[in-house]
Amino acid sequence: MLTRHGAPSTPLPTGRPATPTQVALFRRPRAVPRASTVSFVSAAAVGCVGHRPWRRRQSSQRHAEGRCYQVVSTESQGLGVVATEPLLAGQLVTEEAPALRWSGAEDEVELKECFEELPVEQQQELWQLEDAFSVGAKTLSGIAFTNSFQAGEPLNPQDLDLDDERVLYLEISRFNHSCLPNCEVSWDDREGLLQIYAGRDVALGEDLCLYYQDVRMPRLSRQEKLKSLGFTCACRACRAADRRSDQRRQRMQQLLGEMEEVEEEEGVAKVQELLDLYDEEGLTVLHYRKAAAFKAYAMSTALGNVADAAKWAEMAAEYSLQCHGPLHPQTKVLSRHARRAADLNG
Ligand SMILES: C[S@@+](CC[C@H](N)C(=O)[O-])C[C@H]1O[C@@H](n2cnc3c(N)ncnc32)[C@H](O)[C@@H]1O
């Protein structure tokens, strides 16, 4: 919340992705029937906002020819996902209903009971998923540790709580992590769907990757954190081990910390520096940019700078449109702010 700046009391959209996270134990999960409406989406323009087109075409059937991606074997990351056609920034890549949804802790026996309530076909699919934790034979909890997401879109990373609801998806589980991701997730609370959007334009044949954790830190810190998720990151950024990249990400981390304390005027300059660093680093994550723009909007509002406030609000709304789509509550709220700020600016 940015209320202490006297700016909008709207919850601040943050850059925290819904990440597959290790959960120690499990409580009774609920089996969620797999929606027959799971849709796979490919490209076609139906709308255009500002300089960044927002595009989607929805296929109502779940079949291969409706998809814009394919699951393939990768060299060093097991299975992964590649684009089977060029994608545009802000394009909905896929959305999926969870196969399992449970309150995320404590009882493996109950997890097993719940798993057994799933139709056999789904049980078999679930056993095919990666298990990065078990030594020898796969276990259900190992699969859940490796592939589940936290349900919902918490406002702050600190909100992450092991009791939170967890969700597991059969298809989306195949998206690998990258510290230079080109896709990001959005939670659709209305239907419990997880959606994946292209964070930038993507070429045919490119790997489609999410980020399982905040990637705005130097390589060694990223690697250490990812080890707790059971693997050593082999993404392009980690393989490159570039000293300048580490310096940029170190500075991002520093700026994000400073932003919590800073005076508004200095804060807007820091947001701009952060966005410039994202550009230099090729870090296209729309959630990060949306959060930064919203922060600058709030601070510009507090400073009474209506022209800047209108510019930042429009930017935040546009990023939200691209990483959440037009119906998401954050997009609606940010669009309202953008309209109000534009009116004030005349
Ligand atoms: C959610 S699964 C992703 C799909 C998985 N590759 C598969 O074969 O089903 C997460 C697992 O994929 C692998 N993985 C994902 N991103 C990776 C990366 N950047 N580097 C190395 N392994 C990765 C790790 O084994 C990790 O535990």
Output the CA 70–ligand 1 centroid distance in Å: 16
When pLDDT is averaged across residues 42-48 and rounded to a whole number, the result is 23
Going from the C-alpha of 87 to that of each of 21, 96, 150, 265, the distances in angstroms are 28, 19, 27, 38
- The ipTM of this complex is 1.00
φ, ψ of residue 77 to 5 degrees: the values are: -130, 25
Ligand 1 geometric centre to CA of 308 (Å): 42
Q: What does the alpha-carbon distance between residue 26 and residue 107 come to, in Å, rounded to a whole number? A: 4
213 lines ligand 1 (CB under 6 A): no
What tokens appear for 94 in the block? 């896929």
Spacing, Cα 77 to ligand 1 middle (Å): 5
Given a cut of 50, whether residue 22 has pLDDT beyond it is no
102-134 confidence digits (pLDDT tens): 876 556 776 787 789 999 999 999 999 999 999
Q: How long, in residues, is the chain?
A: 346
Is any atom of ligand 1 closer than 6 Å to the C-beta of 148?
Answer: no
- Report pTM: 0.82
| Residue 217 scores a pLDDT above 90 | yes
174 touches ligand 1 (CB under 6 Å): yes
Nearest CA to ligand 1 atom 22: 77
Q: Which of 42, 319, 40 is nearest to 199 (CA)?
A: 319
In whole numbers, what is the pLDDT of the chain averaged over residues? 81
Q: Is the distance from the beta carbon of residue 146 to the nearest atom of ligand 1 less than 6 Å?
A: yes
Minimum mean pLDDT among 22-31, 186-195, 271-280: which range?
22-31
In this prediction, residue 56 has a pLDDT band, given cuts at 50, 70 and 90, of very low
Residue 77: CB within 6 Å of ligand 1? yes
Find the mean pLDDT for residues 302-329.
Answer: 96
Strands in the chain per DSSP E: 29-31, 40-45, 55-59, 69-73, 79-83, 92-96, 100-103, 149-150, 165-168, 176-177, 183-188, 193-198, 209-210
Query: Would the CB of 141 count as within 6 Å of ligand 1?
Result: no
**Tokens representing 317?**
């709304």
Asked if residue 228 has its Cβ within 6 Å of ligand 1, the reply is no
Which of the listed residues 73, 74, 130, 226 should we mutate to test ligand 1's pocket, taking the one with most ligand atoms within 8 A of CB? 130
Can you tell me the distance from the alpha carbon of 297 to that of 337, in angstroms, rounded to the nearest whole number? 9
